[in-house]
Amino acid sequence: MPPEAASRTTASGAMSGRQRQTRQTGARQTGGAKAARDTSASRAPRSASVKAAAKAAPATRSAASRTARPSARRSKDALAFLKQDHRTVEGLFKQFEEATDGRTRSSLMRRIAQALTVHAQIEEEILYPAARQELEDHDLLNEAQVEHDSAKKLIAEIEQMRPSEQLYKAKVTVLKEYVKHHVKEEERELFPLLKKCDLDLEAMGEELANRHQELMKGSSAARSRARRTGAETGMQLRG
């Protein structure tokens, strides 16, 4: 990921205002009751357990959730939205593998970096904080964060390289493998646990989609500005 993308990412920093807000948005209020481990979680590949919600207490939707629902748009729930985003990135990696020239590879790598950076950011801002509130065992989430950070470092390295450099393609292949492993853990281990939680996944899906759109717009605008500035600097140097 380019330096500007890295600085945009709130990877491992202190929790932002958005993250704090999201803790209230994604998770339905549970009346303060924290129940024992959900024994069904023991069937999961890891022993992460779910803090069962106080089913007896009526779920009170947060202000953000209440405002998210009335639009009644047929939006995807959070997990479906993120899975679709995973498929988009996999498609970009496939196109990268099939590309035969450096220009196309470079362009695809920029799209992969943008897609991964935005995807990681919305998970870190919205999904993971809500999941931390619901799951007693944070191992999966901690590993996921470390995997995000490793991928970001590798993206930053790749973006400093030219496609013609010897290790360029190998680094993109390793990035693809990192992402494949990470996506497998999210979809096979984390998401099934979250389905059992008392999370409003529909409201969260809408929040993820909105934030995703906002970040993609911002990141595209920043790249256009950088390209214009680069072109102008080039013209000045040539002039």
CB atoms within 10 A of CB 231: 10
Q: Is 137 left (phi over 0), alpha (psi -120 to 50) or beta?
A: beta
In whole angstroms, what is the distance from residue 152 CA to residue 142 CA? Answer: 15
To Fe ion, the closest distance from the beta carbon of 141 in angstroms equals 10
In whole angstroms, what is the distance from residue 144 CA to residue 87 CA? Answer: 18
In whole angstroms, what is the distance from residue 121 CA to residue 33 CA? Answer: 30
Q: Which is nearer to Fe ion, 123 or 200 (CB)?
A: 123
Does residue 124 interact with Fe ion by CB under 5 A? Answer: no
- Cβ contact 163:9 at 8 Å: no
To Fe ion, the closest distance from the beta carbon of 94 in angstroms equals 17
**Would you tell me the crossing angle of helices 102-122 and 78-98 to the nearest 10 degrees?**
160
Nearest to 220, CA basis, from 113, 94, 125: 113
Our measurement of the distance from residue 156's CA atom to the centroid of its chain's CA atoms, rounded to an integer in Å, reads 17
Q: Which is nearer to Fe ion, 55 or 181 (CB)?
A: 181
In whole angstroms, what is the distance from residue 131 CA to residue 43 CA? Answer: 19
Q: Which is nearer to Fe ion, 77 or 123 (CB)?
A: 123
Q: Which of residues 159-188 bind Fe ion (CB under 5 A)?
A: 186
To Fe ion, the closest distance from the beta carbon of 47 in angstroms equals 20
| Among 27, 41, 122, 123, interactor with Fe ion by CB under 5 A | 123
Per the listing, tokens 């256009």 go with 224
To Fe ion, the closest distance from the beta carbon of 185 in angstroms equals 9
To Fe ion, the closest distance from the beta carbon of 120 in angstroms equals 6
To Fe ion, the closest distance from the beta carbon of 145 in angstroms equals 9
Interface region with Fe ion, contact rule CB under 5 A, candidates 20-28, 80-88, 106-114, 216-224: 80-88
Interface region with Fe ion, contact rule CB under 5 A, candidates 10-18, 74-82, 206-214, 225-233: 74-82
Q: Which of residues 7-66 bind Fe ion (CB under 5 A)?
A: none
Q: Which is nearer to Fe ion, 105 or 148 (CB)?
A: 148
Chain positions contacting Fe ion, by CB under 5 A: 82, 123, 186
